[in-house]
Amino acid sequence: MLIYGATGYTGTLIVHEASRRGIDFEIAGRSEDRLSALAAELNVPYHVFPVADREGWKSALKGKTALLNIAGPFSETAEQAMEAAIKSQVHYFDITAEVDIYRLAESKDVAAEAAGIMLLSGAGLFATYDPLVVHTAKRVENPVAMRAAFKYSGGFTPGSVASSGNIINAGLLVRKNGEIKKLTEAPSASFDLGDGPEDFSLMPLGGLVISYKSTGIPDIEEYFAMAVPAEEGSDTFKEGHPVAASGAERSKIFIEVTGEDGTVVRSMADTQDGYMPTVTSAVEVVMHALNGSFKIGFQSPASAYGAELLTSLPDVNITDF
């Protein structure tokens, strides 16, 4: 595996997890000083090149099975990294939550299929979210509508703040009758994730593309809320780390699916707060491909690995109601 963007906050956690799990990997990115220090610490080879450097990609991807791109915001890196993976016939993974990147991955379906590779965007948060949608959808006959509410507990790194800007700038997107549409006014929504009704904001998280791929549900709306940091008004990132939310809160993903006959079911996953769920998920998903389990073309976590993926993720609790 090649891990590009290895020196960021999430990248550093991921390379340590990959090392802990005994994966054969090399690291890459644009910053020589940080890469050389990290490579020395882990005793792995490293490659320094900017995302636009095609020769850099070609050389770094030689002999690799998979590329894990963690350099975000992905609006600056995904196009070049996906193209490089297709050209070098190496499976592509990233951990984006930027909806436009999922649309980009979807647009490269035919090219990825022709190259015989899997192009799986969203191996972080969506490794829990997407299989949970499939799990919930299986509880009704003919699912016709889905609403998701994600409550994130923890702070944001600079990369995540930049990515959040891209998500907000994508606009008030929903899927209606199978098509992505932009609303002019945000519908308000209240969900009870176990602590009483709470207000959530409409925000396209990527299920619009990814969970449509895995389930074909024609109507999808996604909502987001953030548990506030411990100190009111404080930064979400201090001294090199995201600031934890108050108390022992966990991040929660809530999925509501409506069946054709009007039956409504709800399932929720709760995970550790902060970035660790993304770290363990990304490494777990890539390991599937390294072990020879993959589907070619554009894939989502659940279109590739089904609802069963949930059982391979540590510290994820599922509640059905």
Ligand X SMILES: NC(=O)c1ccc[n+]([C@@H]2O[C@H](COP(=O)([O-])OP(=O)(O)OC[C@H]3O[C@@H](n4cnc5c(N)ncnc54)[C@H](OP(=O)(O)O)[C@@H]3O)[C@@H](O)[C@H]2O)c1
**Sites of contact with ligand X (CB under 6 A):** 5, 7-11, 29-31, 34, 51, 70-74, 76-77, 95, 97, 124-125, 157-160, 163, 275, 278
Residue number with CB closer to ligand X (278 or 299): 278
Residue 171 is classified by DSSP as -
191-194 LR contacts (CB < 8 Å, sep 24+): 191/149, 191/223, 191/254, 191/256, 193/149, 193/151, 193/252, 193/254, 193/268, 194/252, 194/268
Q: Which is nearer to ligand X, 143 or 150 (CB)?
A: 150
Per-residue DSSP letters for 27-57?
A: EEES-HHHHHHHHHHHT--EEE--TT-HHHH
State the minimum distance, in angstroms, from the CB of residue 279 to ligand X. Answer: 8
- Which residue, 265 or 316, has its beta carbon nearer to ligand X? 316
Considering the complex, state which of residue 143 and residue 277 has its C-beta at the smaller distance from ligand X.
Answer: 277
Q: What CA–CA distance (Å, rounded) separates 4 from 26?
A: 9
Q: Between 73 and 297, whose beta carbon lies closer to ligand X? A: 73
Question: Which residue, 30 or 91, is less far from ligand X as judged by CB?
Answer: 30
Q: How far is the CB of 150 from ligand X (least distance, A)?
A: 10
Provide the minimum distance between the beta carbon of 110 and ligand X in the complex, in angstroms, as a whole number: 26
Tell me how far, at minimum, the Cβ of 117 lies from ligand X, in Å: 21
Of 71 and 289, CB closest to ligand X: 71
CB atoms within 10 A of CB 38: 21
- Smallest distance from ligand X to CB 274, Å: 9
Alpha helices in the chain (DSSP H): 9-20, 32-42, 54-61, 78-88, 99-107, 109-115, 126-137, 158-169, 207-215, 276-290, 301-305
What is the rounded distance in angstroms from the CA atom of residue 151 to the CA atom of residue 148?
A: 10
Sequence-separated (6 or more) residues with CB below 8 Å from residue 77: 4, 5, 51, 69, 71
Comparing CB distances to ligand X, the nearer of 88 and 271 is 271
Name the residue whose CB lies closest to ligand X.
72
DSSP 140: S
Residues 6+ apart with CB under 8 A from 39: 27, 45, 46
* Angle formed at CA 76 by CA 306 and CA 33, multiple of 5 degrees: 105
Query: Residue 256: beta bridge partners?
Result: 147, 266
Pick the closer one to ligand X by CB: 51 or 220.
51
Q: How far is the CB of 259 from ligand X (least distance, A)?
A: 29
Taking the complex as a whole, how short is the minimal distance between the CB of residue 5 and ligand X, in angstroms?
4
Rg over CA atoms, the chain: 19
**Rounded distance, CA 134 to CA 302, Å?**
7
